[in-house]
Amino acid sequence: MKKWAYPLAILTLIAFLVLRVTYQTEAVQKFDSKMANLLLGNKFIDIFHYIGEPKFVVGVAIVLIAYLSWKVKNYRGMVLVLLTFAAGTVLNHLLKTWVQRPRPEIEDQLTSFSFPSGHSMSGLLYLFTVAYLLSEGSTKARKTQLWIGAVILTALIGMSRVAGERHFASDVLAGWSIGFTWFVICVIWYERRKRIFDNIKEKRK
């Protein structure tokens, strides 16, 4: 992982905590209102919520684990998927329960809490994990394509939650922020374990 990702993860953690304590302020509410007016009812953007749905994410996780297990034999990568996909989902539920922010008031609204956005957080986690694992050993051009795709889709999934009135924009920002922090924490574990294993292999030669 690039060195700049580590301080950025600290900044996104700070951003999440700031949003946690300020989401009820007038400034944040004005921001939420402006973003709602900008995105509300955008049918094109709203479509992208489907690729952030739990069933879709679980399907991606199964395919990725199968690929890591049978194709490339990357068992640490399988654990990374569980840490980002599964543990990230648990973390999101815990944070929602902690904050207990109601969702926007519309008919047929979801009953779960709003902050941070689960789609935004899990979308970032699974897309960044896919890009990270598939870019290992790839060419620079391939890595660039994977990461650009992951960032664009992550942005669209988050915005879709505002377009569909399921979340406030600050929920989405919070989901992206804590999602990136958790992603970097998981990658730190992954890369450390990989270095330890490589050192052991080197000593055995």
Q: Do the Cβ atoms of 50 and 56 come closer than 8 Å? A: yes
* pLDDT tens by residue, 3-52: 899 999 999 999 999 999 999 999 999 999 999 999 988 999 999 999 99
Amino acid identity for residue 88 in this structure: G
The band of 205, judged by pLDDT with boundaries at 50, 70 and 90, is low
147-175 residues labelled b (16+ CB within 10 A) or e (exposed): eeebeebbbbbbbbbbbbbbbbbbbbbbb
Q: What's the pLDDT tens digit per position in 111-155?
A: 889 999 999 999 999 999 999 999 988 889 999 999 999 999 999
- Please report the pLDDT score of residue 194 as a whole number: 80
| Alpha helix positions (H), 100-168 | 118-135, 140-163
Question: How far is the C-alpha of 55 from the C-alpha of 46, rounded, in Å?
Answer: 17
Q: How confident is the model at residue 201 (pLDDT cuts 50, 70, 90)?
A: low
Longest alpha-carbon distance in the chain: 66
pLDDT tens profile 83-100: 999 999 999 999 999 999
Residue 101 pLDDT: 94
Burial of 57 (0-12, 13-18, 19+ CB in 10 A): buried
With a threshold of 0.75, does the pTM exceed it?
yes
Length of the chain: 205
Instruction: Please check whether residue 85 is in contact with residue 125, taking contact to mean a CB–CB distance below 8 angstroms.
Output: yes
